Amino acid sequence: MMSEKIIESLKTEFIKTFGDGDMRLFFAPGRVNMIGEHTDYNGGHVFPCALTLGTYGVIRKREDDKLKFTSLNIQAGKVYESSLPDLKYEKEDDWTNYAKGVFWAYLRKGCKIDKGADIMISGNIPAGSGLSSSASLEVLIGLMIRELYGFDNIDMVDVALLGQKAESEFVGMNCGIMDQFASAMGKEGQAIFLDTSTLEYDYAPLELKDAHIVITNSNVKHELASSEYNTRRNECREALKDIQAVEPEFKTLGEMTNEDFERLKGSIKEENVMRRARHAVGENIRAIDAVEALKANDIEKFGRLMNASHVSLRDDYEVSCPELDYLASLAWETEGVIGSRMTGGGFGGCTVSIIKNDAIDGYKKKVSEKYKEKYGLDAEFYVIDPGEGAHEIK
Ligand code: GLA
């Protein structure tokens, strides 16, 4: 849905549900990661950009300590209620757990929030697509809280960190910082080169000459993602422990070069754990090299690194799935595709590709047909430009 339409219906429906009066409107985007996958909890680099798709929300402060949440597109019409002194994860609270988690994270940080709020949201990120609808919701709520309750000491990086805290400690998906960071800090036309070990970051224009970023949604919902994600995190921790038994100076896998890894991989006891670590180390180096290539205007090299990233996620990290592998291989064999890989946590969701403008239509046609034929599923395509990070809409 177009953003103007969403904004209009949010305003009207908010008044219908919560009555007339002041209201403030905010937006936080989803993200797509270009390269540097499963590196953000290993002290490595990531290179995501914000989308123009995301979550919109309207908020108004209440006089009591209640929080009321409703959405126009998930369980539309249902109003979820909780109260500030009593915030806990409840399965039946569904998506509002992410929002409650952000209030909880603020309170945990020592921010004083004694009045509740009425909140209505509406998003246009396809559910389960791996384009970070949950991070966009967290960052949306985080920014709303900051603005509504006047926490001037909280900056946008803090908003991202509070969202990550909500997701890992309140919801229980032990994620890294990439998604929330991209949603909070995104910039139009730019991707963010983030060092997750220091949170130092740099913007790099995604100037792709005569090409565009195309996201292809496999429409396989990434349901395994949460449990397998936490397993991968533990495997990486295990690999690091084995390495540290030999060379204790390595504090993260992200500090290692490929040569370090080759020297030390024999110390990793389990074979599959060794492969997880090989991905984490190699992917971080690929992300660094890819950004350098982009800055040097070598888009072809960027594309080759994207392809290598997919292979490593498929074979070593084992977070892809047959549908994503098929989409990537269709892309690789298509004239005009510069690079293509799965993006995000994996087990479904999307691929991201860089495709020459004059080849995009042909790619879409071919992939829709072949994908439907093989899996009986409709692939969806989004040709995107990097969007702005979370902001208030005045
Ligand atoms: C999910 C997590 C991120 C990141 C990616 C994989 O999106 O939320 O923190 O780890 O997976 O790169």
Q: Which two tokens stand for residue 192?
A: 């963010």
pLDDT (0 to 100) of residue 227: 85
Q: CA-CA distance, 374 to 199, in Å (whole number)? A: 42
pLDDT higher than 90, residue 38: yes
Protein residue whose Cα sits closest to atom 1 of ligand 1 = 345
150-201 confidence digits (pLDDT tens): 999 999 999 999 999 999 999 999 999 999 999 999 999 999 999 999 999 9
Angle at 48 between CA 220 and CA 316, to 5 degrees: 60
**pLDDT interval class at 207 (50, 70, 90):** confident
Q: Which two tokens stand for residue 366?
A: 């071919």
Protein residue whose Cα sits closest to atom 8 of ligand 1 = 175
pLDDT (0 to 100) of residue 128: 85
94 carries an active-site annotation = no
End-to-end CA distance of the chain: 20
Residue 148 to residues 61, 334, 385: CA-CA distances in angstroms?
7, 49, 30
Across 72-76, 101-105, 356-360, least confident range: 72-76
pTM exceeds 0.85 for this model:
yes
217-252 confidence digits (pLDDT tens): 999 987 767 789 999 999 999 999 999 999 999 999
pLDDT higher than 80, residue 46: yes
Distance 63 CA to ligand 1 centre (A): 37
Q: CA-CA distance, 262 to 255, in Å (whole number)? A: 14
Buried/exposed 63-85: b ≥16 CB within 10 Å, e otherwise: eeeebbbbbbebeeeeebebebe
CATH 3.30.530.20 fits 3-205+388-393, yes or no: no
Residue 346: CB within 6 Å of ligand 1?
no
Residue 381 to residues 37, 214, 301, 364, 378: CA-CA distances in angstroms?
21, 7, 24, 7, 10
120-159 confidence digits (pLDDT tens): 999 999 888 999 999 999 999 999 999 999 999 999 999 9
pLDDT (0 to 100) of residue 282: 98
Q: Which atom of ligand 1 is nearest to the CA of 38?
A: 12
Protein residue whose Cα sits closest to atom 11 of ligand 1 = 345
Q: Which atom of ligand 1 is nearest to the CA of 46?
A: 12
Q: Which atom of ligand 1 is nearest to the CA of 176?
A: 9
Residue 195: CB within 6 Å of ligand 1?
no
Q: CA-CA distance, 346 to 64, in Å (whole number)? A: 42
> HSE of 142 in the Cβ direction (CA atoms, 13 Å)?
35
Residue 118: CB within 6 Å of ligand 1?
no
Residue 279: CB within 6 Å of ligand 1?
no
Distance 38 CA to ligand 1 centre (A): 6
Nearest to 25 by CA among 147, 134, 133, 112: 147
pLDDT (0 to 100) of residue 292: 98
**pLDDT interval class at 1 (50, 70, 90):** low
Residue 175: CB within 6 Å of ligand 1?
yes
Q: Is the dihedral of CA 301, 303, 309, 310 positive or negative?
A: negative
Sheet with 66-71, edge to edge strand ranges: 80-83, 66-71, 117-123, 48-61, 24-33, 391-393
Distance 174 CA to ligand 1 centre (A): 9
51-94 confidence digits (pLDDT tens): 999 999 999 999 999 999 999 998 888 999 999 999 999 999 99
pLDDT (0 to 100) of residue 224: 66
* From 40, 118, 179, 316, active-site residue: 179
Compute the mean pLDDT over every residue in the chain, rounded to the nearest whole number.
96
Which of 42, 173, 179, 196 to probe ligand 1 with, by most ligand atoms within 8 A of CB? 179
- For residue 65, the SS3 value is coil
Which of 32, 35, 40, 341 to probe ligand 1 with, by most ligand atoms within 8 A of CB? 40
Q: CA-CA distance, 289 to 302, in Å (whole number)? A: 8
Domain segments of the chain as ranges: 3-205+388-393
Protein residue whose Cα sits closest to atom 3 of ligand 1 = 176
Residue 38: CB within 6 Å of ligand 1?
yes
Report yes or no: 392 and 147 within 8 Å, Cβ to Cβ. yes
pLDDT higher than 90, residue 25: yes
Which of 39, 181, 229 to probe ligand 1 with, by most ligand atoms within 8 A of CB? 229
Protein residue whose Cα sits closest to atom 5 of ligand 1 = 345
Residue 37: CB within 6 Å of ligand 1?
yes
pLDDT (0 to 100) of residue 221: 87
**pLDDT interval class at 320 (50, 70, 90):** very high
Angle at 201 between CA 196 and CA 206, to 5 degrees: 115
- Beta-carbon count within 10 A of 121 CB: 27
Sheet with 200-205, edge to edge strand ranges: 45-46, 190-195, 200-205
